[in-house]
Structures are given as structure tokens and as C-alpha cells.
A and B are shown apart, each in its own frame.
Chain A
Amino acid sequence: MENREKTVIIKHLVKRFGDFTAVNDISFDVHKGEIFGFLGANGAGKTTAIRILCGLSKPTSGEGTVAGYNIRNQQEAIKKHIGYMSQKFSLYPDLKVWENIELFGGIYGLSDKQIAEKTTKMLKALSMEDARDMFVRDMPLGWKQKLAFSISMVHDPQIVFLDEPTGGVDPVTRRNFWKMIYQAASNGVTVFVTTHYMDEAEYCDRVSIMVDGVVEALGSPSQLKERYSANTMDEVFTKIAGRSIREE
């Protein structure tokens, strides 16, 4: 693992809002093609950390690179090379499926021809050929999330950040969603994912668990289960997150 290319490197990252320290000195690396699970209770600082990695927020202190660009001053360069899908569903509901694909393709600088090819390929892979002219607001949530994930990778980014991508989605769709994640990772895309479903944590290559702004545990699911003498990730999580003193 150690000799593989690192796409995310974080050292001593801190983010303070006034006198509240949301992220308190976290450090970790993520490798190319890895599925990195970023867990933690609500309010543990996950979203803040992800926002910094995506260039949406500036760190108070600490160093780091994402896709080779500095998180302190090269945010716009980072944005060209990452995909992002947030827990809040963020496609345009009043645009049709193909129009959303076209918009984000265009934003990332794809040509009309590339966009047309991508659209066909993407809809085929999602089995959504018939939904091409559907308004996104009329789609079921599971479809929307799958579409949003595909669109976040329309420009073939090196890393894709998924912030609770499967929240509120039924189990079958969740499993399909994870198939898509595996597919992306096998193509060399680094997948950085947060989730509250511990069965999903089992699917990750490595998992970090944040408590009160600090990374309490980091390792592969099997390592963590062994270290905390637990049978499932759920038990591991309960043991670690139970130490939290921060109120939600």
C-alpha cells in the first residue's frame, strides 16, 4: 500500500469557528483508487473536513494537498480535479436529466461532442435512457442520487468526495450505489465517502472514525475490529463514538 500514489495528504489540519474547534489537528493520507470511509457521529467535524478538502473552506492551520494541489491556496485548481456530491441533493430540479449532464459537463470544460458521448454512456450505465427528458424533480430519490454520483464524475476526476450519498435511500438502491463506487475505484478513482450506515463501512478499504474533531481510529475494517475486539464495524463505531463529550 505504502508505495502507491497518494492523492490526499493531510497534516495537522485545524479549523476553528470563533472559539469552537471543529477540526482539531487531524492527519491522514488517502491512496489512489482507494475507498476511504470517513466516519463519525453528527457534529464530529466530518463535513467541515470534507469542505476543506474540496476547497469550499479554508483551514485555520495545517498543511495538505488534494490531487497534488495545496488546500491553502490552490482551491480553484483542486476543484478542477475532484468530484463532489453532498448529502443535500444538488442537481437542478427544474432542469431535465440531460440538461443537468450538459450543464455540469460544460462547466468542467467538456466539448459538445464529449458531452453527447458522456450523456449516452452515462444514461446507458444507469439504465435511465428513458428518463433522459425527465425533470430531475420528478425522479425518485435513489435515481437522483445515482445520477448525481455519475454527474460528479462527468469530468473523470481523480478523487470523488461523497458526503452521505446514500442517506434516505432504500437497501437495494444502496447496494447498487456501492457497486458504482467499486466500479469507480477499480478505474483508479479515489473515493472519499462519509456514511452513517455501518454495513457500508465494511465495504471500505480503510476507515477513519472522527470523534470531537479528532481522528480516533484509522485502519482497514478488519484491523479496527481486531483492535477493538468487536465483531462488526457497528460495535467498533459505538465503542469509539461513545467517548464523545461534544453535544450534537
Chain B
Amino acid sequence: MWKYLLKKEFKQFLRDPGMPRMTLMFPFLIILVFPFAASMEVKNIKLAIVDNDNSLQSTLLTEKCASSGYFEICSNGNSPSQAQAMMDKGTIDAILTIDAGFAKFLEGSAPSSDDLPVGIKVNTVNGTRGSIGSQYLNACVSSYVMGIKSATGTSVGQIEIKETNLYNQFQDYKLFMIPALIVIAITMMCGFLPALNIVSEKEKGTIEQINVTPVSKFAFIACKMIPYVVVAYFMVFSCMLLARIAFGYGCAGSLLDISIFTLAHIIVMASFGLLVSNYSENAQQAMFIIWFFSMIFMLMSGIFTPIDSMPDWAKIITYANPLRYFADAMRGIILKGSTLADTWFDLTCLLGLGGLTTLWAVLSYHKTN
């Protein structure tokens, strides 16, 4: 019986006008397109420089900023009020003011207790861009000052903080996003498409024909899921392969761990999808429920914004979100090389959620009502 049902599902999947193409396109989108669009890296910050020192040092600092790659020097040599007017109009994002005495300060002729005669103003209408921009600018100035001071041998008078980036050494945002984008793709593939598939059988009336046969509900559902499980694994591994070819990203952890987590996530999402289909009579209803939950799943998963910076009530909601655990584990395994010993909490929660949704889905699916 299984053989024939599986044959049917695979044939229907392959004959669908959209599905096979979508399956092949998705990995390319996930690896080659989305990471660039979903990047939070801030580049091309428009910078105005107000140089009141007009020294060699101030010119060098300006060049240092320009060569960092993050800034685009829009104007140089304006008065402070002109620069302010430009920021008000929104043509620039940041102003770097170098006050008179900058060169002297660096040469050490000014008392070292004085403040550094450099000012930074940032436009924070876009909060992320503003705060990251000011960090970059700060880093630029302080690294320049440090460089000069240590070269001239004068004491800095400050504790020097040296950062070391672990696991994602160059803070490459793409590397951080790819595991999470794979998570989203699996969620769509295994949670939502089977739900729509079952609802479309309801709409066509073919499910009634199946319900009147002795097919067990377990066999029917399992055979519906298997093609999507195959597709999910294809997506995970083709994405990772593509990431390796295109960007040279490897996987720090074991592929077996990834497979285990993928399966756990499939179980959660597939049973969730089934649950949706049990409670929807038509595709429109199912689509709406899916859309509603996918918003919550994605925004409250820590994929785009860190969970740690959410308020407590929002953190509680994330505990019920399977994407939270899968994304956390995927990032851990791919970036840090986490093992099951490190990610057991994620796996336990994922399996717990899966058990719950599976039980509910099976109880609410009736061949006879």
C-alpha cells in the first residue's frame, strides 16, 4: 500500500507546475541572493568632515576614514553650521569634527587629561545605521589615535581594549545569516506546503475517496510527508554545498548533527502543517493561518534580531517557537562546530514541541467523524 501511495505523491509533486522548479531555485536564492539583501552590515555611511585643525594629522585621519571602506566622504572643509544643515536635509549620515589642537594633542604637547578634540555627530533616524555608523567612526578615530600614540611612544592614558572575534572572524553577516535562511526554507517546505497539499485534496474531494478506503491515516500522512522530507534534505545540503562553492564557507560541526536537527524540525513543522490542514476547509483559510504563524515564527525566532534584546514577555513567546531552537542550533553547528552535547537543550525543546504537535495533529485528524 505504501509503495503505491508514495508513487502517487512523488508523481504529483514532480508534475506540479511550480514545485520542482521552486525546489531547484530556492537554494540559489538562499545562498546567492538573500544573504546580500538580509545583511545588517552598514556600508556607505555618508560622512561630512569639518576640519578646524587643518594639520597633517587631521588630513591623515580623514584619509584613514575614507580608506576604511565604510564611509563615503561627501564634503570636506565646510563650516560646522553647513554640515549641520546637510544632516538636517538628510544628505549625510554623520559629521566628524576635528577641532583645532588635534595635531598638538597627538604630539603630546597638550596635557593628556584633556579630551580628544574630535567630535562625532550621527543621524539616528535609522537607529541601526546610526549606532553602527558611530561605532565604526569611533573605531576609526581611536585606532588612528592609538597608532600615532604608540608610534611616538607617548602613554595613552587609557586602557586599551582589543577585540577578538571568535567563530565568525571577519564578522561576515552572510555567514551568520545563511544557516538561518536555510531554517526558513525548511520551514516553508515542510510545514506549509504539505498543509496546502492536504487542503487541496479536501477541496478536490479526493480525500473523501481516500477516507472511504482502508488506508490507515498514518500511512496516508507519512506518504504525504516523505517527498517533502526528501526535498528538505536536498535543500539543506545543496545550500551548504553552494555556500562552500560560492563563498568558501565550510561547516564547523558534523553533518550528522545537522541531519538530526533537520529531521526534528521537519517533524515539528510537518505536524504543525497537518494541524493547520485539519482545521481548514479550503486553501484560503489555510494560507491565512500559515501567513499569521509564519510572521510570528520568523520575527520571534532570533533569526533577524537577537532574542536577548527582546523584552521579557517577548522572550517567553520565543520559547514556543520551533524556529528559535533550530536556528540557534544550526548557527551553533555551522559556525562554532557545536555538538549535540552543546545543543541538547535545543534538541530537547524541538522534540518536545514536535511530540506535542504530532499528538494533537493525529488526534484531530479523523477518517470518520
Q: Which residues of A contact B (CB under 8 A)?
A: 54-58, 75-76, 79-80, 82, 84, 86, 88-95, 99, 102-109
Taking the nearest CB of chain A, how far is it from the CB of B334, in angstroms?
38
Tell me which residues from 154 to 212 in chain B have a Cβ below 8 Å from any Cβ of chain A.
204-206, 208-212
B12 touches A92 (CB 8 A): yes
Chain A residues with Cβ below 8 Å from B205 are: 86, 88-90
Contact check: which of A58, A86, A94 meets B368 at CB < 8 Å?
A: A58
B214 touches A91 (CB 8 A): no
Chain A residues with Cβ below 8 Å from B38 are: none
Give the complex CA separation of A56 and B205 in angstroms. Answer: 13
**With A57-B369, A99-B8 as given contacts, are A107 and B208 in contact (CB-CB < 8 Å)?**
no
Give the complex CA separation of A55 and B367 in angstroms. Answer: 9
Give the complex CA separation of A3 and B186 in angstroms. Answer: 62
Chain A residues with Cβ below 8 Å from B206 are: 90-92
Give the complex CA separation of A57 and B366 in angstroms. Answer: 10
- In the assembled complex, 29 residue pairs joining A and B whose CB atoms fall closer than 8 Å, in A order, are A56-B208, A56-B211, A56-B367, A56-B369, A57-B368, A58-B368, A75-B367, A79-B212, A80-B214, A86-B208, A88-B208, A89-B205, A90-B205, A90-B206, A91-B209, A92-B12, A94-B12, A95-B11, A99-B7, A99-B11, A102-B4, A103-B4, A103-B5, A103-B8, A106-B5, A107-B5, A107-B214, A108-B213, A109-B1
Q: Which 5 pairs show the lowest CB-CB distances between chains A and B? A: A106-B4, A90-B209, A88-B205, A84-B212, A79-B214
Chain A residues with Cβ below 8 Å from B1 are: 106-107, 109
**With A91-B206, A103-B7, A106-B1 as given contacts, are A56 and B212 in contact (CB-CB < 8 Å)?**
yes
Give the complex CA separation of A103 and B206 in angstroms. Answer: 12
Chain B residues with Cβ below 8 Å from A94 are: 11-12, 15-16
Chain B residues with Cβ below 8 Å from A95 are: 8, 11-12
Chain A residues with Cβ below 8 Å from B8 are: 92, 95, 99, 103
Known contacts A56-B368, A86-B209, A107-B5, then 14 further A-B pairs from the complex at CB < 8 Å, ordered by chain A residue: A54-B212, A57-B368, A58-B368, A76-B214, A84-B212, A88-B208, A92-B206, A99-B11, A102-B4, A103-B4, A103-B7, A106-B4, A107-B214, A108-B213
Taking the nearest CB of chain A, how far is it from the CB of B218, in angstroms?
12
Q: Interface 1/0s, chain B 127-166, versus A by CB < 8 A? A: 0000000000000000000000000000000000000000
Give the complex CA separation of A79 and B210 in angstroms. Answer: 10
B21 contacts partner chain A, Cβ-Cβ < 8 Å:
no
A55 touches B5 (CB 8 A): no
B215 contacts partner chain A, Cβ-Cβ < 8 Å:
yes
B3 contacts partner chain A, Cβ-Cβ < 8 Å:
yes
A79 touches B213 (CB 8 A): yes
Q: Which residues of B contact A (CB under 8 A)?
A: 1, 3-5, 7-8, 11-12, 15-16, 204-206, 208-215, 367-369
Among A58, A82, A84, A103: residue with most chain B CB under 10 A: A103
Chain B residues with Cβ below 8 Å from A54 are: 212
Chain A residues with Cβ below 8 Å from B12 are: 92, 94-95
Instruction: Please name the residue on chain B nearest to A79 by beta carbon.
Output: B214
Chain B residues with Cβ below 8 Å from A103 are: 4-5, 7-8
Taking the nearest CB of chain A, how far is it from the CB of B3, in angstroms?
7
Chain B residues with Cβ below 8 Å from A86 are: 205, 208-209
Chain B residues with Cβ below 8 Å from A104 are: 213
Instruction: Please name the residue on chain A nearest to B201 by beta carbon.
Output: A92
Chain B residues with Cβ below 8 Å from A107 are: 1, 4-5, 210, 213-215
Instruction: Please name the residue on chain B nearest to A86 by beta carbon.
Output: B208
Chain B residues with Cβ below 8 Å from A55 are: 212, 368
Taking the nearest CB of chain A, how far is it from the CB of B263, in angstroms?
27
Instruction: Please name the residue on chain B nearest to A102 by beta carbon.
Output: B4
Chain B residues with Cβ below 8 Å from A105 are: 4
**With A90-B209, A103-B7 as given contacts, are A108 and B369 in contact (CB-CB < 8 Å)?**
no
Give the complex CA separation of A99 and B1 in angstroms. Answer: 14
Chain A residues with Cβ below 8 Å from B5 are: 103, 106-107
Give the complex CA separation of A54 and B209 in angstroms. Answer: 11
Instruction: Please name the residue on chain B nearest to A96 by beta carbon.
Output: B11
Chain B residues with Cβ below 8 Å from A106 are: 1, 3-5
Taking the nearest CB of chain A, how far is it from the CB of B19, in angstroms?
12
Give the complex CA separation of A82 and B214 in angstroms. Answer: 10
Instruction: Please name the residue on chain A nearest to B16 by beta carbon.
Output: A94
Chain A residues with Cβ below 8 Å from B368 are: 55-58, 75
Taking the nearest CB of chain A, how far is it from the CB of B219, in angstroms?
9
Instruction: Please name the residue on chain B nearest to A148 by beta carbon.
Output: B209
Taking the nearest CB of chain B, how far is it from the CB of A19, in angstroms?
18
Taking the nearest CB of chain B, how far is it from the CB of A98, in angstroms?
12
Give the complex CA separation of A197 and B215 in angstroms. Answer: 33
Give the complex CA separation of A88 and B223 in angstroms. Answer: 24
Chain B residues with Cβ below 8 Å from A82 are: 212
Taking the nearest CB of chain B, how far is it from the CB of A17, in angstroms?
10
Give the complex CA separation of A99 and B9 in angstroms. Answer: 12
Chain B residues with Cβ below 8 Å from A92 are: 8, 12, 206
Chain B residues with Cβ below 8 Å from A56 are: 208, 211-212, 367-369
Instruction: Please name the residue on chain B nearest to A80 by beta carbon.
Output: B214
Chain A residues with Cβ below 8 Å from B208 are: 56, 86, 88, 90
Among B3, B211, B368: residue with most chain A CB under 10 A: B368
Chain A residues with Cβ below 8 Å from B4 are: 102-103, 105-107
Give the complex CA separation of A244 and B367 in angstroms. Answer: 32
Taking the nearest CB of chain A, how far is it from the CB of B201, in angstroms?
9
Give the complex CA separation of A75 and B204 in angstroms. Answer: 23
Chain A residues with Cβ below 8 Å from B210 are: 107
Give the complex CA separation of A76 and B7 in angstroms. Answer: 23
